Amino acid sequence: MLRLLLIRIVLAILTLFAVSVLIFTATEVLPGDVASAVLGQGATPDSLKVFRAELGLDRPAYVRYFEWFTGAIQGDFGKALTNKRDILKSITPRFENTMFLAGFAAVIAVPLSVGLGILAAINEGKWIDKLVNIVSLAAISVPEFFIAYLLILFFAVKLAWFPSLATVFYDMPFTTRLYVAALPAVTLTMLVAAHMMRMTRSSVLSIMSQPYIEMAFLKGLSRSRVIIHHALPNAAAPIIAVIALNLAYLIVGVVVIEVVFVYPGIGQFMVDGVSKRDLPVVQACGLVFAAAFIILNTVADVLSILVNPRLRKPSMGK
């Protein structure tokens, strides 16, 4: 188990390194630069050259990459090029807001999706199963920004139950924060719950043809008891994996939702950095997103191994 854990950690570190190279390269090839964005269209070539030198943009890309990556792994993302503020201090409260929104959505989505997936598996082929499948397919097919605008239209504009802008701040009471972030949390829930529900249903039904399941039915156990006590524990590994992937999406995929609701999270911070061509801000946000995604996937691998002892042993054909 320790060996498998070390392998997963090493692979996660290598993946993060590879992703950091891609992030730095992708931001380097973006059209325009921060010097042109800050100085404006009236800047002369000489002033642009001097300003780029002050920002260190005249140095080779590989030198700037290694300085950036070595600083990032030590918790130093540098300073924003536009306002000279420390990026870590700027990104920390926004990351906390994003984690709050993702956690809010996860608390709703995970038990709802797993419960509906089990309910659909118990009632396979019945109207409940068909209804859950139709609703999940509809939720998957609709873009997240469209769902967000529909929720704003009905619940914020017409019914006036919730605010259309999810503006939160540090001293806001917890209940008020929940109320303000309700619409973006529901939007995220509708996106990820459908995937988790369908995977839960598929994983449980894939176990139903196993001999020990048939033996349980021969003993006279009900379908619900067989699924909950026999099929579900053995289907836990893929369910945990898809839950971890969707939790990672809750963190990484909030960019569009934060922009729609003007939510002060890390996604909104990255969009602002892109619009201003502030490369260190964009690179820092991208690296934080990648690290969160990789960590959650690594945790999913470890949990899958813990709940399924067969994954700890090599296969018989090896």
* d(C-alpha 126, C-alpha 122), whole Å: 9
Query: Do 97 and 168 form a contact (C-beta atoms < 8 A)?
Result: yes
Tokens of 202: 């598929």
Q: Which of 30, 47, 95, 26 is nearest to 276 (CA)?
A: 30
Mean pLDDT to the nearest integer, 115-129:
80
* d(C-alpha 257, C-alpha 183), whole Å: 10
Tokens of 292: 């969160």
Q: Is the pLDDT of residue 227 over 60?
A: yes
pLDDT at 91: 86
Q: Is the pLDDT of residue 111 over 80?
A: yes
pLDDT at 316: 42
Percent of the chain with pLDDT over 70: 86
pLDDT at 312: 57
Q: Which domains occur in the chain, in start order?
A: 2-58 (no CATH), 97-273 (1.10.3720.10)
Q: Which of 73, 106, 264, 131 is nearest to 189 (CA)?
A: 106
79 strand-pairing partners? 86
Query: Do 229 and 145 form a contact (C-beta atoms < 8 A)?
Result: no
pLDDT band of 214, cuts 50, 70, 90: confident
In this structure, the chain runs to a length of 318
- 209 versus 88: which is more confidently predicted? 88
pLDDT at 129: 78
**Does the predicted TM-score (pTM) go above 0.85?**
no
pLDDT at 103: 85
Q: Is the pLDDT of residue 314 over 60?
A: no
Mean pLDDT to the nearest integer, 237-260:
77
Mean pLDDT to the nearest integer, 216-240:
72
Q: Please enumerate, as own/partner, the contacts of 118-123 that have beta carbons within 8 Å and a separation of 24 or more.
A: 118/200, 118/201, 118/204, 118/227, 118/228, 118/232, 120/197, 120/201, 121/200, 121/201, 121/204, 121/205, 121/208, 121/227, 121/231, 122/223, 122/224, 122/227
> Residue ranges of the alpha helices (H) in the chain?
2-28, 34-39, 45-55, 61-72, 87-122, 127-141, 144-151, 174-180, 182-207, 211-218, 223-226, 232-234, 236-252, 254-261, 266-275, 279-307
pLDDT in tens, 135-194: 877 777 777 788 888 888 888 888 888 888 878 877 788 888 888 888 888 888 887 888
* d(C-alpha 143, C-alpha 149), whole Å: 10
pLDDT at 291: 85
pLDDT at 39: 62
pLDDT in tens, 39-80: 666 666 777 677 677 666 667 777 878 888 888 888 778 777
Distance of CA 217 to the CA centre of its chain: 39
For residue 116, the tally of other CB atoms under 10 A from its CB is 23
Q: Is the pLDDT of residue 133 over 50?
A: yes
Q: Which of 116, 58, 60, 54 is nearest to 79 (CA)?
A: 54
Query: Do 110 and 196 form a contact (C-beta atoms < 8 A)?
Result: yes
Tokens of 116: 């509906």
Mean pLDDT to the nearest integer, 214-235:
72
pLDDT in tens, 262-305: 888 888 888 888 777 777 888 888 888 888 888 877 777 777 67
* d(C-alpha 258, C-alpha 65), whole Å: 29
Residue type, 66: F
Q: Is the pLDDT of residue 19 over 50?
A: yes
Half-sphere exposure of 66 (CA within 13 A, CB side): 4
Q: With the C-alpha atoms ordered 266, 271, 275, 279, is the resulting torsion angle positive or negative?
A: positive
Mean pLDDT to the nearest integer, 218-233:
73
pLDDT at 315: 47
Q: Which of 150-159, 187-196, 201-210, 218-227 has the highest mean pLDDT?
A: 150-159
